[in-house]
Structure 1
Amino acid sequence: MVEHEVLQADAHRRVVRIGDTVRRPMHPWSASVHEVLGYLADVGFPFAPRVLGIDDQGREVLSYVNGDSGGDGWARVVDESGLRAMARLLRDYHDAIAGFRPRTDAVWSSGSAPPRPGELVCHGDFGPWNLVWRGTRPVGVLDWDHAGPRRPIFDVAYALEYVAPFRDDAESMRSMHHPSPPDRRRRLEIFAAGYGLTSLDGLADEVIDQQRQVLALVRRLAAAGQQPQASWLTDGTVAATEAHIAWSVRHRDLFGG
């Protein structure tokens, strides 16, 4: 009997596992994402799922990566070895994708602008929930829907928002599995070193800048009626994001750099 498991039941994006495959809805940007994943397979990057085709329901078929993901990822990056490994994986991805040149007509979830000088195709949603973990070792990168051309520091800053984290003590302990208030400066340093940065100068400001970029993108997609962003305008998500940015600005001194 083929194993069938619902991995995500959101109305706008139902994801299921069937045997050793994952079936996900297609989007206008899926062809561009498939090119990225195909390129990664060609250059031997082992941490991304492989594109296996389109099924008879019009869903993309990807290889299943075995391990823990989703909410399990938070506890893995509390551990400093997991934090360091996550940073190293991000650098490995950026090194692997550096030679990729998307088609001039490529469409991404964020738009259709081609890469500018200094940009590469970032993952765009590089959080601990989108990694597959075995212990404190990440073995896969999931959910490439937000891939698109950006400066590499965007992925670094996006990850740091959640793993430093750029959140207050209460949320860090309640939602991110920290047993006590985190030493944010130390965690910033660990991640930066794992990625290969030689300086923290301006890094905290990059995190705040990407928070603002993401909020602006959410508003633009919501205005176009795209889900789940449209629902975030009314369910409190956008208001919470605004509050997170305000907290980051007020507590900028916690992060140094």
Structure 2
Amino acid sequence: MTALRSAARLLRRYHDCTALFMPPMLEKDQTWQLPPRPPFEVICHGDFAPYNVVLNSGEVTDIIDFETAHPGPRDWDIAYAIYRWAPLSAGVAIEDLGGLDTQILRTRLFLDAYGLPAKERPVLPGMIIDRLNALVGFMEREAANGVERYRRNIEEGHDRIYRRDVAYISEHRDEIIAGLMD
């Protein structure tokens, strides 16, 4: 749980730092791989996941791979981070890495370490669903535009995994919200 909590604290520090740069960043003509998403509160990492951090002695100390960074609300970035760190995924339960109760507990621990107030938590399952749907749409557009990487992702079924997880989160939305509010 040390990695989970330290990841959440690092994401919070990252968000707090990028919030200071938002007004100047918005004044410049910037190109982002992922589209900016209002309201513009922070520079979202866009892919804050275990595979995009540096771990030292069990503690997450650094963030890498800013390819998908873009302006957006904190919750947009937190939603994807929870999806990856809890992880809120149907595939995890299948792999016996923890069922829904464990996923909700890990989500709570992440949000507590981040410092997200309880009143802001009920929107997160819907935000995760929106974030995953946006990711699938992005992948499909890029594949249709001839980007080989995304064509391969679609061919390998990445979009189907995200859609399955959208259905899983939708099905358990009320349980997830209740678990985050206890």
Q: Which residue of the partner structure matches residue 123 of structure 2?
A: 202
Match of residue 157 from structure 2: 236
2:112 is matched with: 193
3-state SS, counterpart of residue 139 of structure 1: strand
Query: How many residues were matched structurally?
Result: 172
Q: TM-score, normalised by structure 2?
A: 0.84
Counterpart of 1:98 in structure 2 is 19
Q: What secondary structure does 1:187 align onto?
A: helix
> RMSD in angstroms over aligned alpha carbons?
2.1
The alignment-based identity, stated in percent, is 29
Q: Say which SS state the counterpart of residue 12 (structure 2) adopts.
A: helix
Higher strand share: 1
Q: Cα deviation per residue 1:30-83 (whole Å; 9 max; x = unaligned)?
A: xxxxxxxxxxxxxxxxxxxxxxxxxxxxxxxxxxxxxxxxxxxxxxxxxx2221
Opposite residue 98 of structure 1, the aligned amino acid is A
More helix by share: 2
Higher relative contact order (CA 8 A, sep 6+): 2
In the alignment, is the contact (CA less than 8 A) between 1:120 and 1:151 conserved in 2?
yes
How far, CA to CA, are the matches of 1:117 and 1:125 in structure 2?
Answer: 18
User: CA–CA distance in 2 between the matches of 1:134 and 1:119?
Assistant: 29
- Please give the alpha-carbon distance, in whole angstroms, between the structure 2 residues aligned to 1:206 and 1:117: 14
Asked if 1:217 corresponds to 2:138, the answer is yes
1:130 aligns with 2:52: yes
Structure 1 contact 184–254 (Cα < 8 Å) conserved: no
Task: Could you tell me which runs of 5 or more consecutive residues in structure 2 were left unpaired when the two chains were aligned.
Answer: none
Task: Give the CA deviation at 1:117.
Answer: 4.3
Specify the code of the residue in structure 2 equivalent to 1:209.
D
Counterparts of 1:119 and 1:93, CA distance in 2: 12
CA–CA distance in structure 1, aligned partners of residues 74 and 41 of structure 2: 6
